[in-house]
A and B are shown apart, each in its own frame.
Chain A
Amino acid sequence: MGRQAGCSKGKGGSMHFYKKDSNFYGGHGIVGAQVPLGCGLAFAQKYSKDETVTFALYGDGAANQGQLFEALNISALWDLPAILVCENNHYGMGTAEWRAAKSPAYYKRGDYVPGLKVDGMDAFAVKQACKFAKEHAMKNGPIILEMDTYRYHGHSMSDPGSTYRTRDEISGVRQERDPIERVRKLILSHDLATEKELKDIEKEVRKEVDDAIAQAKESPMPEPSELFTNVYAKGLGVESFGADRKEVRATLP
């Protein structure tokens, strides 16, 4: 929303969430660009020997980017603890996967890098797969996880999501494979909670989200001077001066 209280202090926008203390290195607007970055993170982790791994997520659209294969080769060559996760929702915005990829078996595209296909709509399967992948990556190097999932809405604000697929398809998936519904049914059938208890949780969550939105809306916009901060490291580079900050001068430490 571009507010000061936001995770990138209002500068990043909707695509660019970051959270350093959760080790979330962020969303990326240029799809595919984050995979080599992820492999770089994994290299640093291997170096530091701190038993951590990196999950680099991308979509079925971005799976056709050349830089992905470059990163894959490097990770495999150097046995990096990188887990490449392809969130396959079957559409690269408006282009169906069979139209964009010769082989839509994204988990196999690693060739010399092993891959696992996971039902992305099953929360438990995803959890197990990630656990397995982490153990594998720490011992043997990169692995690909393909999460078979779906996108109900359009790709972005300007995409209605209905010009390239039928509404029946969307509602069909929602009825049969919705991940939250699946968990709900499991909970109810195993008597782990009652309907009412689940409804209460839902109400609580909704309230939490509404509160967060209200808080976000109340947060002020960043100061105009913030336009110029963090272009370079502070004090070591270029600062803008002048009435409309047009003049740019190098400032040396």
Chain B
Amino acid sequence: MASLGGEALTVTHVEKKKKPPARYWEDPPQQAGNGDNNRGTDGEQAGRQTEQQTPKAKKRKENEDRGDGNKFLSGKADRFPGPAPIPEDRLQKFKRKEKMKKPRRQHYKLKDMIARSEENSEMSQIQAARLDLLLPEDAGFLEGDEGEDTCTISQEDIAESVDITSKTKYFDLKLSQFGPYRVDYSQTGRQVLLGGRRGHIACIDWQSKQLTCEINVMESVNDVKWLHSEAMYAVAQKKWLHIYDSNGIELHCIRKFNDVLRMQFLPYHFLLATASATSFLQYLDVSVGKEVAAICTKTGRLDVMCQNPQNAVIHLGHANGTVTLWTPNQKEALVKMLCHHGAVRSVAVDKTGTYMVTSGMDKKLKVFDIRTFKPLKSYFLPAGASCLSLSQRGLLSAATGDIVQVYRDVWSTPVTKPYMAHRVQKTVWGTHFCPFEDVLGVGHGDGFTSMLIPGAGEPNIDGLDANPFRSAKQRQEWEVKALLEKVQPELISLNPTELGMVDRAASEIKHQDRVKALGFDPLAKVKFVPKYKKKGRSSSGNIEKRKRQVGHEDQRDDIRKTAEDRVKIEKERRQKEKKEAVLSSQKSALDRFRK
């Protein structure tokens, strides 16, 4: 503003200023005047003569010209001064919490501590966002021609147009004898576990197509699930829950868990959650082999189950159309949601723990926001979806009869057409997206199909968590570390960050907890027991008298208090009356018509 308005004024102002003494290292002024490109110590003086601005404005302009004013020895200015900008969405991705709103008065130590920790968290956020730009892999995608639906592109087409390694990921296993099959991929996505209804169990390293083990348990199999590593898996058989190792040797038969229909494994808690036909939800700690909780849900047969990977809450779907949320710490459901008019057929929760997708017998597919427990979208599927499964990048697979449909962005945009579709030989029994791969495993009546779904898997793996390329040594190390930091089942709650928050429970609640923990009330008034006095002065009469005195003291306190209160009330009443009297004195002419 100064440079705009002060043009005329500054002339005299500058003229008045004393010229700096000439120095031999400076260029002669007439030479420096025409060259705007040589910006040195002399450039400043040259500009002052030619452009005739106030020194302040000049300086400001120069700063703008040079950006940060960083200069190298060569005299060139840095064209991109300062740290490189980071896109806002990347920063948002790594944001953990909002900046703390500062209360009015803070202790100086606390203020300092908060400031420092906030600085640290901001730095870590920025560094993580910077590293995010350098991640090596990009997600897969599938784009059709203009006007072409991607759902019409067949698996064969895709398999033909991708590289050889990916091509081998599309395959069919024809296992018509013991089907239909349940599917489960291991945490790293290297192994697939197939469980045939009629007792056939197979573990396959599906990328190299090597069979790790194959057994027939000679019993009906309801569900199969990998435990924390590829070394062990659980099988829900006709009566009991069994645990096998990767060689197919039965390690345990757990008689406490009967008639299990569905299972979920909580990898960070080492808990195997099972839902049974007897409406029991049970938790097995697989690291110590103990039953952590057994909850009778009293809702009938439980054959719809999924977990929220963000907070380890188990979602159960019921025949009356409700979905209930459970933790091992509470005997009642945390939340009961009425989702469908018919029975719930399948439930799935996305990786971020934000959205829940349900399908019901009313042939609807619904999307809920489980932070607010509100419905977001509702779709009508003519055949209804039987198996739902969500991929790491949010693709939804829904099986209707023998067709597997994959949808994209079901929660953000209203979807009209599937992203991909594929027909398998017989009715689909279980679907599971392979982690870190663009692959959907479909178990059906006629075996197992591995489909290519571009854009399903998370492209960049984290080597310290689930690493598909880990060696045996790395796996061992990971296993020890994971066991050491096993999260206790008591910490499961709807909000996983609750542990890092300040407990603002009222002092009354805290006191109640303390009473419960101690078994007595530490702040309770002690019953007055008069001291024993010798020489006959502690006769029973005397004791009673002393007790009465103390009692009277208490009474007196109460009486004093009530008297004070009464005085106070009286005072207030009088003031109020006074006010009213003042008001009533200003009567208007219309007041006489009032009652």
| A and B pair up | no
